[in-house]
Amino acid sequence: MSALNTVIVPIHRAGWPFIGAFAVVSAILAAIWWPLGWVGLIATAWCVYFFRNPNRMIPDRPGLVVSPADGRVSMITTAPPPPELEMGPAPMLRISIFLNVFNVHVNRVPIGGVVTRAAYHPGKFLNASLDKASELNERMAVRLRLEDGRELAFVQIAGLVARRILWTIAEGETVRTGDRYGLIRFGSRVDVYLPPDVTPLVVVGQTATGGETVLADLAGTEPARTGRLS
């Protein structure tokens, strides 16, 4: 079974209507002219690839904050969390993960806790790699209270070609580190807001794996990491 799981990757249920539509169009194109059917088949295969939903090995040591998404660490900065979360204007450490159209787009909870607020905010569809996308773009923001009373936030942000944010998380819900909670179509960003005294354990440009890459250790004393291309 383990060998089979490495070949057959689960598909997110939100993808099946798109996969079905692509398959129908492919069949129609093939009936019109068979080379077009091959184009449709390739597009259908890409759609299946986009909505893949692989299992991950989640670190379960208390205090570890994992990446909420697959992608590239595009920014590490300080900024106030979205105003709709009502966490105040004080800046927090913000780590941004940028997803391109080839990344897994299923989003995961960065650390376990209780959801105290979940707020959707309509907005624009600017390039998600831009800093102002955090403020101006369509987003879904979550405020989380940890067991020790501290709070953090994580935010799904629509991108240039993303036109739909999906989430399955509600206020009052208790979540675990690495739980799947949403998906963004097609190309986007996820921000994690951490307390200002927390040190990031990733660097800008690093590739992150959702649910596995550790962004920070809330109980750690390790200094901020540096990195270089090689």
Q: What is the pTM (predicted TM-score) of this model? A: 0.85
Mean pLDDT (whole number) for 200-211: 96
Residue 146, pLDDT > 70, answer: yes
pLDDT of residue 1: 42
Position 164 pLDDT exceeds 80: no
Dist. CA 36–CA 41, nearest whole Å: 9
DSSP assignment letter at 103:
S
- Average confidence (pLDDT) over 209-229: 90
The domain limits of the chain are: 2-50, 64-217
Higher pLDDT, 34 or 96: 96
Run of H or E including 20? helix 16-32
- Report, as an integer, the average pLDDT of 45-49: 79
Look up tokens 């798109």; give the residue: 18
pLDDT band at residue 4 using 50, 70 and 90 as cut-offs: very low
With H, G, I as helix, E, B as strand and everything else as coil, classify residue 152: strand
CATH number of 64-217: 2.70.70
Cβ-based neighbours of 62, under 8 Å, separated by 6 or more = 147, 219
Torsion of CA 60, 128, 83, 140, to 10 degrees: -60
Virtual torsion, Cα 200, 204, 207, 208, nearest 10 deg: 30
pLDDT of residue 2: 45
Q: How far apart are CA 151 and CA 117, in angstroms?
A: 11
Which structure tokens are listed for 102?
């080839």
Q: Which residue has the higher pLDDT, 203 or 185?
A: 203
All residues at 6 or more sequence positions from 32 whose CB lies less than 8 Å from its CB, including other chains: none
* Amino acid present at 88: G
Cis peptide before 186 (omega within 30 of 0): yes
The Cα 68–Cα 178 span in angstroms is 7
Q: Which two tokens stand for residue 60?
A: 């379960």
> Active-site positions?
188
- Dump pLDDT digits (tens) for 117-144: 999 998 776 666 667 777 778 899 999 9
Q: Is the pLDDT of residue 217 over 60?
A: yes
Under the banding of pLDDT at 50, 70 and 90, the label for residue 23 is confident
| 190 within 8 A of 156, measured Cβ to Cβ | yes
CA end-to-end span of the chain: 37
